A and B are shown apart, each in its own frame.
Chain A
Amino acid sequence: MTVSDPITNEIIRNSFLAIAEEMNNGLVRSAFSPVIYESKDSAVAIIDAQHRVLGQSSGIPLFLGNLEHCTKVTEEMFGRDAWQDGDIWIMNDSYISGTHPHDVTVYAPLFYRGELAGFVASRAHWLDIGGKDPGVAMDSTEIQQEGLRIKPMKIVQGGVERTDVIELIVGNTRFPVSCTGDLRAQFVVAELGSRGLVELYDRYGRDVVETAAEVMFAQSEQQNREGIAKIPDGTYSADGYLDSDGISGVPVRVEVVITVAGDAMTIDVTGSDDAVRGPMNCGAVQTVSACRLGFKYLINPEQAVNGGTFACLDVKVRLGSVLGAQEPSPCQFYFTPLGLLVDLIVKALSPVLPELAAAGHYGDGMILQFSGTDPRTGNKFIENEPHVGGWGGAPRNDGADGMIWAMSGAFKDMPIEVFETKFPATINEYAFRPDTGGAGRFRGGCGVVREYTMLLDDCDLSLWLDRSQTPAWGIEGGTAGAAPDLIINPGRDDERRIMKVNRTRLRRGDTVRLMTGGGGGYGDPAERSHADIARDIAAGYVSASAARELYGYDA
């Protein structure tokens, strides 16, 4: 078998993907926390000895291509000799991994015939990692308030679990049983990945596998360079505002400047505002991931990600900015600026990639968190969930109605029957919110209403809703989608509207009415077909009066 045989290369390329899939399935199926097994808030990767991704699988697009950063930084800190067979490492440091402390990365070196041959890694969102509040805090002002901070360290040494370290970590969480379960699930993933890679090396030989990887990187790079070369050289930019960091109450600007030169692209976000006091800063590594995601939306979206995918993309981040968090900036909601950032990348390039364009989407997780003690069982509970909204219209389709935002990947909402069984509250309403999608030849998707009523005397509610300052914009003549809104006790004397809060007190019978935003419209509303407008009215997505006003339509 010759070393650069295209047939063997293709077989090995498929094997990398298959191993990563097997690892992620193993993680999702054996995890203890719903945020992993239900929301798929996890990612896995197999990585070569030079810290390049061979294959990865993720339920969360934002974890795209940054697990390798963890192995790389660890090596920079401790030297290459620190890698020892039988060890497993752990870390969650926001300034290294770029995410919030709840995302715990577990990784292991892979030794083949006594030599370091690569790494396997997984990242999973733990239910609780300590910190000042159960679950997540909406008002932290320094990273230490957000949870235990774990810099790279060994958690398994020579095949033996370091029980003292495990005790230290899970002892700092409020849910030691499920966190231990999730940790063990991550150990399993390391085992699955190692086994898969060793089998591959055994079958083809390490040199053949490594050559295949080089060929694969080169192919991915070439494909993406060809994709970029189709875009006219030039500079493309867009900007928008986040509502507030939850503390200062001041809008925060995010700016994207994209330069295309030949077959290379630079995404520069250095013009974005300085880091903020509240928990809305993002580590540079995760900003890079978000830029990669925006890039991937537009360039070869169907292609698998590997070490060659982003070779033609340079990202410029300014440390100390909201997108380049440094100690001690809090990072809990690092993803809120990224939701806007990714939308802005699409917006900036839409004029030159008209086929791939899309109007803005509702763009934030719309997170509600309830916590307290369930009077039915006497057990403490935390329920933390993002909510669905409207997506942007596109050149050939309306935006999706009520679908989860870009950053939450393959999330599924919690069924009402499951929610009411597990938590002491009812859901009165879960319905599309009419007239929230922007008008256009292809309209934006509708947001939703989800209304909760409390069945306990004492409940804490924390809220994190954004994108009312810069709601989902329309493009090519389409109009913007509606902004989100939230009312506590609508119609009562104590009614209040609020978007971000940490642990406000709710009583039995209190109602929380969440209204998520819609997507932006695409194209001139006057070009929308009457049949489509009539269908929208009949379905209740658009009211008759809005149809008249926005589309000039009279039934």
Chain B
Amino acid sequence: MSEQFRVAVDIGGTFTDVVVYEETSGQFRTGKSPTTPDDLVRGVVEAMNAVVDDPDAVRSFVHGTTVGLNALLQRRGERVALLATKGVGDSYFIARGHRLDIFNIHHVRPTPLVAKPDLIEIGGRLDWQGDEKTPLDPADLERAAAYIREQGIRSVAIAFLFSYLDGRHEQAAADYLSAALPGVTITMSHEAAREWREYERTSTAVLSAYSGPTVRDYLSRLEKGLAEKGISAPVRVMQSNGGIIGIAKARTQPLQTFFSGPVGGAAGGEVLSARTGRPNLICVDMGGTSFDMSLIVGGKPEILPHADMESFPALMSVVDIKTIGAGGGSVAYVEAGGLRVGPESAGAVPGPACYGRGGTQPTVTDANLLLGRIDPGAFLGGKMRLDVDAAKTSMDALAGELGLDPYALAEGIVDVINAKMAQAIRAITVERGIEPRDFSLVAFGGAGALHAAALAEALAIGEVVVPALPGAFSAWGMLQSPLRQDFTRSFFRKLDDLSPAALDEAFAPLEADAREALRTENVESAEVDFRRQLDTRYVGQEHTITMALTETLVDDFHEEYRRRYGHASPGAPLEVTTARLTLLADVDFPAVSALAEEAVPERDLPTQTVIFGRRSHDTARIDRDALKVGERLTGPLIIDEPTSVTIVPPGWVVSVDGFKSLILTKDAA
């Protein structure tokens, strides 16, 4: 049998990354090609060409794209007409009357995705139990169809009150419009999100109607581009919920593609967790402008039931990824005599002072360069030489203002940004009642491994893992992610009233949907899991916790509540609000076994001066490629590779495990 490949492609802002897994040799290979914003598919195909020569050998293809998110960010989505319940359609524009910035009297809301004249109210109403109070008004539907036709609108969102209980009015309106307006895309809120809260459900439907056409168009072109290249393998897409899905289904739920890039990092964490037997991971991705964090707890990524998309809510499961403005480009400045770092970033242009593109304010990258932690000649594999003098000049000005030595300032800038990132990690862990010290820190992205040991130190985390291929970790994770689809519906009951039969009845339609989904996905695996969950809370509370439905649900809830909030009320009555069913199907990724330890040569590494803790240290440098499996080296040490730099500070040791990950630990000696 000829070589078989599994391929994952992740489109980033600058580069499109490919990871190829060769089934027979068990090797991973990576490729990279500039992202082509005018026609993203071309970049994907070019990146593939670099590493895959035989299209027939590709047996699976997974893709991560943020084309939908970009359409939202750049406001290039489809014009949407919104059909809403008569009298209350403005709810979408009132957006719950909410503002976050409570000290701002010049508050301007984000421009809604529906232009106000494109809101069309339709008579007809259901009550709080889903029973019809007023029938749907056919004259209103006729008027709506005429307006949509006359305006040439191609996408319609329908969101009526209480449709999460009964979708018949939405369905009837959709049936009418699809007959009257062939070719127009229709999104019904009860299909987009079967949960209560009309603003949030409407917003979900509108987001979907707005970005759906862009996503679908892109996916179609991708499918065509791959077919032209001769690839006949099933094409699957990474979703915001941490699993993958067939391209046909992805077209019907475009919002699930929005965060597929960053979610790949969490997917990589999940794989790493399973493979190396580390149940609890904090995954951090540090680039030029932002620092993304996600958690793997007990081997699973943390999933949130609701998402925020550029201030628009979406009722859908997403991997919990928190982002703060901290990266290599974060700018340092003085305010009222105090040092501040970030969240503003110098970005790519002008970029850090050392890029020599006109930046004059010192950044975190300038600080790392001045401290000797980044090699000016090895940046981006030597493709871009950094200007140490420019970094020094930028630092001098600020150091003078603060009365500090420029090197002390440089280390201070690194310390401040590290403290901010450490606090952000604290917030996502401690808030959930999790102790960071029970976790390993997985660092990737361009700057992650530069700061990881210091972050671990600040959080009393004992171990840092820098995976192989840190620049393509997301694509690597996607390659091995399970198929996943989530099914939900509002389901209000006191837990005491819930019999097993009532539960089966509640989950039956969700399970029927899941089985149907499974059938259409042509899953090759026998490893299929239907996971039942219930959003649970104390009677009278609002916020729920999504709990696995097991025999011990009640005890588990009290326990989980105590873990998160430090107190619980055992014995207090519980109620459930939402039934959730998650379909998970393994993609049968071959087991990857650890490599055997290799003979380690005598090392006589060149050293240079690097500052740690305000003191100069003779620090060795080595290329990551040169490291051997099983090798163990003592810090201070710097490990260079084309897209990343790993710092092993004094007092830390690094070893190379059987998966070629770097494992950094505090030196026990």
Contact = CB atoms under 8 A, between A and B. Distances in A.
Contacts of A418: 196-197
A393 B106 CA distance: 8
A187 B197 CA distance: 31
A15 B402 CA distance: 21
Given A37-B543, A410-B102, A223 B431 contact: no
B97 A420 contact: no
Contacts, number: 200
A416 B85 CA distance: 11
A432 B88 CA distance: 10
Given A177-B540, A296-B103, A18 B426 contact: yes
Given A37-B541, A418-B197, A391 B105 contact: yes
A215 B338 contact: yes
Contacts of B91: 415-416, 430
A181 B100 CA distance: 26
B437 to A, nearest CB: 12
A396 B104 CA distance: 13
Interface stretch (B172-180, B515-523, B560-568): B560-568
Contact of A7 (B100, B196, B412, B492): B412
B431 A188 contact: no
Interface string A35-79: 001100000000000000000001111000000000000000000
A404 interface: yes
Interface in B85-102: 87-91, 93-94, 96-100, 102
A430 B94 contact: yes
Given A184-B567, A400-B107, A420 B128 contact: yes
Contact of A410 (B99, B431, B492): B99
B197 A417 contact: yes
Given A37-B541, A215-B338, A412-B98, A191 B566 contact: yes
Q: Which of A26, A302, A398 has the most CB of B within 10 A?
A: A26
A422 B358 CA distance: 60
A388 B337 contact: no
Nearest to B340: A10
Contact of A427 (B88, B404, B423): B88
30 contacts: A6-B339, A7-B416, A10-B338, A10-B416, A13-B338, A14-B419, A22-B431, A61-B103, A181-B569, A184-B567, A185-B565, A219-B335, A222-B336, A301-B104, A396-B106, A397-B108, A400-B109, A403-B98, A404-B98, A411-B97, A412-B96, A412-B98, A415-B91, A415-B196, A417-B161, A417-B164, A420-B128, A431-B87, A432-B93, A541-B116
Nearest to A537: B117
Interface in A203-229: 215-216, 218-220, 222-223, 226
B423 A410 contact: no
A403 B99 contact: yes
B542 interface: yes
A416 B94 contact: no
B117 A539 contact: yes
Contacts of B565: 26, 29-30, 185, 188
B146 interface: no
A377 B168 CA distance: 27
Interface string A281-310: 000000000000100110001100000000
B109 to A, nearest CB: 6
A489 interface: no
A293 B104 CA distance: 10
Interface of B: 87-91, 93-94, 96-100, 102-109, 115-117, 127-128, 161-162, 164, 196-200, 335-341, 402, 404, 411-412, 415-416, 419-420, 423, 426-427, 430-431, 492, 538, 540-543, 564-567, 569
Nearest to B133: A426
A185 B541 CA distance: 12
A346 interface: yes
A18 B162 contact: no
Contacts of A13: 338
A95 interface: no
B116 A394 contact: no
A144 interface: no
A9 interface: yes
A134 interface: no
B106 A397 contact: yes
A370 to B, nearest CB: 15
Contacts of A398: 108
Contact of A538 (B93, B116, B567): B116
A192 interface: yes
Interface string A5-28: 111011101110010011001100
B304 to A, nearest CB: 13
B412 A415 contact: no
A224 B197 CA distance: 42
Interface of A: 5-7, 9-11, 13-15, 18, 21-22, 25-26, 29-32, 34, 37-38, 58-61, 177-178, 181, 184-185, 187-188, 191-192, 215-216, 218-220, 222-223, 226, 293, 296-297, 301-302, 346, 358, 361, 387-388, 391-392, 394, 396-398, 400-404, 406, 409-413, 415-418, 420-421, 426-432, 448, 451, 538-541
A223 B339 contact: no
Given A59-B102, A219-B335, A538-B117, 20 more contacts: A6-B404, A14-B420, A25-B431, A30-B567, A301-B104, A387-B97, A388-B94, A388-B97, A397-B106, A400-B109, A412-B98, A415-B96, A416-B198, A417-B197, A418-B196, A420-B128, A428-B87, A430-B90, A431-B89, A432-B94
Contact of A402 (B93, B105, B566): B93
A10 to B, nearest CB: 5
Contact of B94 (A219, A358, A448): A448
B339 A10 contact: yes
Contacts of B97: 387-388, 402-404, 411-413
Nearest to B85: A416
Closest A-B pairs by Cβ, 7 of them: A388-B97, A7-B412, A539-B116, A219-B336, A11-B419, A412-B96, A429-B87
B102 A61 contact: yes
B416 A11 contact: yes
Given A301-B104, A403-B99, A410-B100, A188 B566 contact: yes
Nearest to B419: A11
A302 B102 CA distance: 10
Given A187-B567, A397-B108, A6 B98 contact: no
Contacts of B102: 58-61, 409-410
A511 B610 CA distance: 75
A5 B109 CA distance: 40
Nearest to B107: A400
Contact of A391 (B107, B164, B420): B107
Given A301-B103, A417-B161, A417-B197, A400 B108 contact: yes
Q: Which of B89, B426, B541, B543 has the most CB of A within 10 A?
A: B541
A453 to B, nearest CB: 11
Contacts of A415: 91, 96, 196-200
Contact of B336 (A14, A60, A223, A409): A223
Contact of B105 (A58, A59, A406, A413): A406
A116 B53 CA distance: 71
Contacts of B423: 14-15, 18
B332 to A, nearest CB: 10
B581 to A, nearest CB: 22
Contact of A421 (B93, B106, B196, B199): B196
B198 A417 contact: yes
A22 B427 contact: yes
Contacts of A226: 336
B413 to A, nearest CB: 8
Given A409-B102, A415-B196, A448-B90, A181 B540 contact: yes
Contacts of B564: 29-30
A22 B424 CA distance: 11
Contacts of A413: 94, 96-98
Nearest to A196: B430
A34 B87 CA distance: 26
